[in-house]
Structure 1
């Protein structure tokens, strides 16, 4: 209770103070314990949590303490942190603007200059600012595609990519220290007068637009008027820039879902503002059908992800998976460049098809742990004069094309996908034709993910599998096992190789015929995440539909048999 009263004395927000007083007056002990028994953990994704009073929620005091911790770490790490400063942007959620301003004013009190967007900004537009303005970091206040009650605080390092260890731990240490001290804070007027707060206005957004329009990768204009598309911003902040970039690229038949176009942090027309969720794309697909559009496209609310449904022969629309879009991008972009000098990559849980496309083009390929932060940070380490970074993706609808933004960017991805589609249309082909062509060359690659609840009283699944390793999975012989905790790849003949990936509690089983299952035990619950891949070759002259049905049946058997073996 002392913690609660101390918090009330420090909280700058009358709204959350009142919320906390009501919890006290109503003796809601369980709710108070939920908010005060721990602190919202700062990690490589920064902060993310429900908005509310207390250290285990997102609120102005937590944001100010986080900004103070971040600022102190920047001062410790960069001798020129004050002059170079930090770029800050925010999404359309109710508290995001206030949280962004609080961040800027705490940094200003530490003498660190802030470049704050004058309006909402898509996450890639803010990440772009690190390299463009040569800042030491960036902060985006966003909860991306989480439900309305959430908000977040995402941090980028001076290389323009999301932070990775050990920076996250160093920042977390400084946040804990900042939480024990008075918060440094300047007024907005003082920060402006001391030139410690600079507003990023229309010319900044224009700089991002110009940079993308100048990119050679977004300049393959092949009859853009030959296709049409519907678009949804999913009540987020992507619409203005998405529509502008499409217009710049010559796409003049773009239909935006009016009910979802403008920022609205309550997300009134979707149950969950994530394009991957069932029903989230219904309105944009309905609008596409109304106009007989080629594509139905969407960004998530902070516009760093891109989703697309493609018109079928029946006139309906079918969603592409992230792996399908990533494979199409890989083939398209490598065909537009000197592939032998290009570097492409994806994560361990994404399809292996990209690696085969890269090999077919003679390109360089790399693989990382799950999380976009790894894709971009590792790409910077791996690229050379003979292997320039071109493209990377993760299966959860995240894509980065070129080096304008060192993070996933749903705005540029949409333009490139529209150009890819228009080029195929000019040749009398569809996206489905192109996918079939890739599958005929490399085999149908199907990917699926399942979370499996385990017996809480059973031994930890990771330890169990390591102690008594299986020899077959779902009736298939195991060719090799990658144990990321040990950093080893063990082949069926007993040969052991080292793996160049950070240690992680992950087991990857490569099976005969190319199938694969990845097992990621939960560190906090008796459950395991499993990622499955089935590869089904298409026989010469075989009907595609027949091979696809066979692949789907194989996947169903694979999942059923494997899950049964874990329980």
Structure 2
């Protein structure tokens, strides 16, 4: 046995001694007995990295997996950072919620036990909870933070630990780095835990029961943004929770707003972290919406909705004039919701990310509202919104193209439940007028242009030169025959126009390049910092004639998009 293997074995044995879970202890013991050193090397080569989205990984034994010991160490580190940073953190406490994955309740209880051992009050949901319901608790209870144990729409073998700060939004720097330092320290010292029974008896634990869930429901029911009442009983809609935790609240909210014809997909209604009826529990994935569309067809529904498993995202499919259902893109849902909400409250603040459609800026400007954009990630959308909103221009709406939407200020994160109700009310209003969502999109596109967006992940050879560096050293002057009129380099923090004039960018540094073309098209390149691949985002804009229908215009936009994507990818540095 080499010295390295001996050291690895000693590390594994130390971990087993700390591990509170017999199943993962046994998993590691069997790997040692079978001398599976390569597997153990993978498990112990480092820890799962904690960042601004918290932490997410495959469930299993060892520091590079999600398990009870990792959760306890994360919670202990978070708790210490809160004590160091947030005034009265012990008394204000931490909200802890969890989704329907097999380990989530146990992980949530482990989180509570580690926090209570530090004297921090814990508000623990008594049952599974949609992520927006847990995030709502930060402001509702004036808590110091919140934790949601969820892997959202990741495959069944994953779980995660998402952290919200005292302002109700996901954490951003410097808190992510500060928490990570405390986690590393917690992994080197004996762990202190307090049982739920002891915590309850000492007053450190409050169970969030049905009254708490009802508080979220009543908040949404009373929202000024969800008061539009246009014959909801006339709209037929199909819905799926996609084996997640959204069904009870989604159905309750829709019923409270008068939607009498709501057809849930029975086989996907209850929480099931094995996701037996979908290959990948992400509504964006091909085939994920098949069952809800089949339900919509069976019931003669007008529209079909899906939440992802933790109900913070929303997908929409609408019936076309030919009777078939078609998925709306995330940008189209965001466009429709932004247009609809700005019509209700025009002088408001709306925003989206740099990779989402630029059409929202045009809609906001036409409505007399203010628009902002951020780097990718909902943590930026909500934290920046808090900074930019004013009394005269309150925050109204933000979205990202990956099916995330937030309305108003009660939940400072994406909320697939309130977005569901708002979109259903929009659809009911349109139906009352004899129109469809395609008609509304057509009207928007005729006013502002047909904005069509697409994205593509491109795998590169391992020896491919750094794409970002190559594009900066030899900047392109045109793409697909169109002149680049502006290049935004978020790593340098500068925008350069065709004449060479530079303007400072205000967003945080990020390895992103945006090329604006003279025909209003746009190409965004995001190199990966960890893998030989890049992600490219594309936008084309075409004019829409008064007598042109949506689907004819869409066909022309798709053709323009294919030409742009093909030409751009062929010209990338090899």
Q: Under a length normalisation based on structure 2, what TM-score does the superposition of the two structures give? A: 0.97
User: How far apart are the structure 2 equivalents of 1:359 and 1:242?
Assistant: 32
Q: How does 1:168-179 map to 2 (within 5 A)?
A: 168-179=176-187
> Which of 322, 325, 328 is the matching residue for 2:330?
322
Residue 77 of structure 1 corresponds to which residue in structure 2? 85
User: Unaligned regions of 5+ residues in structure 1, if any?
Assistant: none
Instruction: State whether structure 2 residue 173 is matched by structure 1 residue 159.
Output: no
User: How far apart are the structure 2 equivalents of 1:136 and 1:371?
Assistant: 22
Instruction: State whether structure 2 residue 468 is matched by structure 1 residue 462.
Output: yes
Instruction: State whether structure 2 residue 511 is matched by structure 1 residue 523.
Output: no
User: How far apart are the structure 2 equivalents of 1:546 and 1:297?
Assistant: 25
Deviation at 1:553, TM superposition (A): 0.7
Q: How does 1:14-25 map to 2 (within 5 A)?
A: 14-25=22-33
SS at match of 1:271: coil
User: How far apart are the structure 2 equivalents of 1:524 and 1:272?
Assistant: 23
Q: How does 1:438-453 map to 2 (within 5 A)?
A: 438-453=444-459
SS at match of 1:155: strand
Instruction: State whether structure 2 residue 202 is matched by structure 1 residue 194.
Output: yes
User: How far apart are the structure 2 equivalents of 1:546 and 1:254?
Assistant: 31
Q: Is the 8 A contact 2:439 2:550 kept in 1?
A: no
Residue 117 of structure 2 corresponds to which residue in structure 1? 109
Deviation at 1:373, TM superposition (A): 0.4
Residue 42 of structure 1 corresponds to which residue in structure 2? 50
User: How far apart are the structure 1 equivalents of 2:461 and 2:33?
Assistant: 40
Instruction: State whether structure 2 residue 502 is matched by structure 1 residue 496.
Output: yes
Q: Is the 8 A contact 1:163 1:373 kept in 2?
A: yes
> Which of 33, 48, 52 is the matching residue for 2:41?
33
> Which of 427, 431, 434 is the matching residue for 2:437?
431
Q: How does 1:252-271 map to 2 (within 5 A)?
A: 252-271=260-279
User: How far apart are the structure 2 equivalents of 1:91 and 1:393?
Assistant: 23
User: How far apart are the structure 1 equivalents of 2:251 and 2:86?
Assistant: 38
Q: How does 1:111-260 map to 2 (within 5 A)?
A: 111-260=119-268
Deviation at 1:540, TM superposition (A): 4.1
Residue 68 of structure 2 corresponds to which residue in structure 1? 60
Distance verdict in 2 for CA 1:145–1:545, change over 3 Å: closer
User: How far apart are the structure 2 equivalents of 1:504 and 1:400?
Assistant: 24
Residue 391 of structure 1 corresponds to which residue in structure 2? 397
SS at match of 2:295: helix
> Which of 533, 541, 545 is the matching residue for 2:547?
541
Q: Is the 8 A contact 1:232 1:297 kept in 2?
A: yes
Moved more, 311-320 or 100-109: 311-320
Matched residue count: 565
Instruction: State whether structure 2 residue 567 is matched by structure 1 residue 561.
Output: yes
User: How far apart are the structure 1 equivalents of 2:484 and 2:339?
Assistant: 30
Moved more, 371-380 or 16-25: 16-25
Q: Under a length normalisation based on structure 1, what TM-score does the superposition of the two structures give? A: 0.99
Deviation at 1:379, TM superposition (A): 0.2
Deviation at 1:564, TM superposition (A): 0.3
User: How far apart are the structure 2 equivalents of 1:286 and 1:276?
Assistant: 17
Deviation at 1:542, TM superposition (A): 3.9
User: How far apart are the structure 1 equivalents of 2:305 and 2:67?
Assistant: 33
| 1:208-250 Cα distance to aligned partner (Å, 9 max, x none) | 0011111100111111011110110000000000000000010
Deviation at 1:543, TM superposition (A): 4.7
SS at match of 2:519: helix
| 1:62-85 Cα distance to aligned partner (Å, 9 max, x none) | 000000000000000023011000
Moved more, 391-400 or 188-197: 188-197
User: How far apart are the structure 2 equivalents of 1:315 and 1:218?
Assistant: 29
User: How far apart are the structure 2 equivalents of 1:534 and 1:349?
Assistant: 13
